[in-house]
């Protein structure tokens, strides 16, 4: 049996949804569902959860690339078969967790993981840098302004010691989105790596009539910079097209999303912006957006040294100066953003002053500020 192309609707099964989560639980999780009392991080990457039944669940967390092969998954399964009765899980940040029901089973599991080269780094817990959530980049996306997997690998290589330790003032969440669509939703991360374009779209007059609905392209622009206009294709014929008021473009790329005849990616125009100080958790302070502190760094594959060193600098200045429990954004707000720029040595530029919608909310409307070195 199997799919019959002559009869595609035969025996069709639809709308069955995912497998039920309970089939996937290890016994210690199933038996203690909703009965957990407290947890403790025994060492970086190792958690113990205590149940009111007296049971304990030990978890070993390892980092992984988000882009992984089925061969790699099979090796993860080998480990889970050998130590965890065939169960494992992924976290929301692309880490993999192995769970066992007794302390004595932890060390053999860790020894096994460590014996497999650098494939399964143990860590990603507590006051450290955990895995970077990210998007597709050049691996699979049609709108990126930078790569994803490559940048993440370069950054995590450099920050590796923070993944395997818990020495920071609080957890630091790093995220990467390869364009302003932000499939990676980096708008609420301690440190956000964001692909940005800097050249307005080109107009492909040979394609535009065939692939675009002109009104949709026009309405796609949040700033009204696109209007219907005639153009000339390479055969010299007049075609219905659009014109772009370049000085009004904020390089969001929404026009290209709606109209494939308006590409804007460019090797020199594209690069990375760094935003900091966002958080999702409601703990202590309210959720915060990430703020743009470095407007542009070039795309320099394979290892993006400018981006890597900018992130490391922010992280280390934060590590040195923030108080215990203080997230990056809480620290920056306490000391003031002028101090943040001063002590990180990041040049403050006009690009960090908002001139988009609701911009006024971010302007300072008080006489309270600090006399940092910016004021001459």
**CA atoms of 227 and 234, how far apart (whole Å):** 21
Q: Does 18 bind another protein (CB under 8 A)?
A: yes
Query: 64: burial class by Cβ within 10 Å (0-12, 13-18, 19+)?
Result: buried
Between CA 234 and CA 239, with CA 238 as vertex, the angle to 5 degrees is: 90
Q: Does residue number 166 form part of the binding site for another protein (CB under 8 A)? A: yes
- 143 is an interface residue for another protein by CB under 8 A: yes
Side-chain-facing half-sphere of 168: CA atoms under 13 Å: 30
Q: Give least dist CB 374 to another protein, A.
A: 26
Q: Is 187 in the site for another protein (CB under 8 A)?
A: yes
- Cα separation, 33 vs 356, in Å, equals 47
Q: Which is nearer to another protein, 64 or 314 (CB)?
A: 64
CB proximity list for 311: less than 8 A, separation 6 or greater: 155, 158, 159, 174, 191, 193, 274
Q: Is residue 335 at the binding interface for another protein, with CB under 8 A as the rule?
A: no
Residue 87 found at the interface with another protein (CB under 8 A): yes
Three-state DSSP class for residue 162: helix
Least separation in angstroms between residue 2's CB and another protein is 6
Q: Choose, by CB under 8 A, the member of 59, 130, 307, 344 that binds another protein.
A: 59
d(Cα 317, Cα 271) in Å, to the nearest integer?
24
In terms of residues, how long is the chain? 376
Q: Which is nearer to another protein, 240 or 284 (CB)?
A: 284
Q: Total residues contacting another protein (rule CB under 8 A)? A: 133
Nearer to another protein, 132 or 346 (CB): 132
- Residue 145 or 310 having the CB closest to another protein: 145
The footprint of another protein on residues 226-245 (CB under 8 A) is: none
By CB under 8 A, tell whether 350 contacts another protein.
no
**Can you tell me which of 45, 57, 218, 337 binds another protein, judged by CB under 8 A?**
57
- Tell which one of 31, 55, 105, 185 touches another protein (CB under 8 A): 185
205, 256, 318, 341: residue in contact with another protein (rule CB under 8 A): 256
- Buried b / exposed e along 264-288 (16+ C-beta atoms within 10 A): bbeeebbbbbbbbbbbeeeeeeeeb
- Residue closer to another protein by CB (options 9, 375) is 9
Of residues 93-112, those binding another protein (CB under 8 A): 94, 96, 99
CB of 117 vs another protein, minimal distance in Å = 9
Determine the Cα angle at 127 with ends 113 and 103, to 5°: 40
């Amino acid at each position: 049996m199997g799919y019959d192309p002559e009869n595609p609707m035969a025996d069709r099964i639809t709308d069955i949804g995912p497998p039920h989560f309970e089939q996937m639980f290890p016994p210690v999780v199933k038996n203690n569902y909703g009965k957990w009392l407290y947890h403790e991080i025994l060492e970086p990457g190792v958690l113990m959860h205590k149940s009111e039944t007296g049971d304990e669940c030990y978890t070993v967390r390892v980092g992984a690339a988000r882009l992984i092969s089925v061969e790699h998954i099979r090796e993860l399964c080998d480990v889970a078969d050998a130590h965890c009765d065939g169960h494992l899980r992924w976290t929301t940040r692309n880490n993999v967790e192995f769970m066992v029901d007794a302390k004595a089973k932890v060390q053999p599991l860790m020894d096994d993981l460590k014996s497999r080269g650098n494939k399964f780094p143990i860590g990603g817990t507590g006051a450290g840098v955990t895995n970077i959530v990210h998007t597709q980049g050049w691996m699979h996306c049609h709108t990126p302004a930078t790569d994803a997997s490559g940048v993440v690998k370069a950054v995590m290589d450099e920050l590796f010691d923070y993944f395997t330790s818990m020495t920071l003032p609080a957890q630091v969440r790093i995220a990467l989105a390869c364009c302003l669509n932000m499939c990676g939703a980096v708008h609420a991360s301690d440190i956000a790596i964001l692909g940005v374009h800097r050249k307005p779209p080109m107009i492909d007059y040979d394609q535009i009539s065939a692939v675009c609905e002109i009104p949709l392209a026009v309405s796609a622009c949040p700033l009204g910079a696109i209007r219907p206009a005639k153009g000339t294709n390479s055969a010299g014929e007049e075609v219905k097209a659009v014109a772009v008021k370049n000085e009004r473009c904020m390089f969001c790329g929404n026009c290209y999303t709606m109209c494939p005849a308006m590409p804007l990616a460019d090797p020199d125009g594209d690069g990375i912006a760094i935003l900091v100080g966002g958080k999702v958790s409601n703990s202590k302070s309210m959720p915060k957006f990430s703020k743009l502190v470095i407007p542009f760094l070039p795309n320099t594959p394979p290892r993006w040294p400018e981006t890597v060193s900018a992130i490391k600098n922010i992280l280390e200045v934060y590590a040195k100066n923030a108080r215990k429990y203080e997230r990056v954004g809480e620290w920056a707000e306490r000391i003031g953003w002028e101090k943040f720029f001063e002590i990180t040595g990041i040049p403050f530029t006009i690009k960090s002053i908002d001139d988009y919608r609701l911009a006024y909310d971010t302007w300072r409307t008080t006489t309270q500020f600090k006399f940092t070195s910016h004021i001459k």
